Amino acid sequence: MAAVILVTNDDGVHAAGLDALAGALDELGEVYVVAPDREQSAVGHSLTLHRPLRVTQVGERRFAVNGTPSDCVNLAVLGLLPGRPVLVAAGINHGSNLGDDVTYSGTVSAAMEGTLLGVPSMAVSQADAGTAGFEGAALVARLVASRLLVEGLPAKTLLNVNIPGGTAGGIRMTRLGHRVYRDKVVQEVDPRGQPYYWIGAGPPEWAEDEASDIAAVQRGLASVTPLHLDLTHYGALGRMGDWEGSLNALLKKWPR
């Protein structure tokens, strides 16, 4: 049996970027598409636990799920696929996922879910997706996936790949940048005089960092950023060692 590759996204099962990614990886194995039945952008790493999930086959080796990107990966790896995948690839997202935005991204979270399940995983996103085709991004995705399948990844590590609109002038290994929103919330008033709000308004500002994913994409390069799921700050853990004794001493004095 050919190696199984899972492709998913957060833009929905009919998104052009999803088709481009599935086509790009087709020569590396038997591609199965399991993706949300509608757009699920910015849902983060949420799982659907309060209702049953429904799966609809919409084509050969292609399935739509009424859930989140993480739902799709969980269902696919643990039940739907004919074998354990050698790769989970999420994308190609219609828009970049740079810097701190990875914490919100359904695309990146799908790759996180694959990593948690022990499958080498990558997320692929393209800036200016509405004005450019996905051929350049698909090529970068295929090249990175080919190397990933040969080299593997360290435990709890996934790759976050971002491509500028159009053709990338090169590929750079990067770290996450930092985003700053100055005008994040916009308040409006509805016809009945009640206020409502839009969050995420206005263009983001980025901290200057030449080694970041943001700088690479701004210079027309594709960025490849390894992300690690262990969020422990080991330096802080070491420095906070004396907290333990004092906190326990206070706890013993607390009336029970």
* Strand bridging mode 55-59 / 62-65: antiparallel
Instruction: Please count the other Cβ atoms lying within 10 Å of the Cβ belonging to residue 199.
Output: 8
Question: In this structure, are residues 139 and 163 in contact, taking their beta carbons and an 8 Å threshold?
Answer: no
The token duo for 234 is: 């080991």
The three-class DSSP label of residue 239 is helix
CA 217 to CA 160: how far, in whole Å?
A: 13
Question: In this structure, are residues 18 and 92 in contact, taking their beta carbons and an 8 Å threshold?
Answer: yes
Please tell me the number of Cα atoms within 13 Å of 4 on its side-chain side: 16
Work out the pLDDT band at 167, boundaries 50, 70, 90: confident
CA angle 183, 229, 63 (to 5 degrees): 85
Q: What is the pLDDT of residue 14?
A: 96
Mean pLDDT within 21-43? 94
Q: What is the pTM of this model?
A: 0.91
Could you tell me the domains of the chain?
Answer: 4-178+208-230 (3.40.1210.10)
The token duo for 236 is: 């802080």
Instruction: Please count the other Cβ atoms lying within 10 Å of the Cβ belonging to residue 222.
Output: 27
Mean pLDDT within 173-197? 86
Q: What is the pLDDT of residues 44-68, one digit of tens each?
A: 898 999 999 999 999 999 999 999 9
Q: What is the pLDDT of residue 186?
A: 82
Dihedral Cα 140, 141, 146, 151, nearest 10 deg = 100
Q: Residue 240 carries which side chain, given as an amino acid letter?
A: M
Q: What is the pLDDT of residue 202?
A: 64
**Among the listed ranges 63-72, 86-95, 143-152, 172-181, which one has the minimum average pLDDT value?**
172-181
CA of residue 236 relative to chain centroid, distance: 27
Mean pLDDT within 129-158? 92
Q: What is the pLDDT of residues 103-124, one digit of tens each?
A: 999 999 999 999 999 999 999 9
Q: What is the pLDDT of residue 203?
A: 67
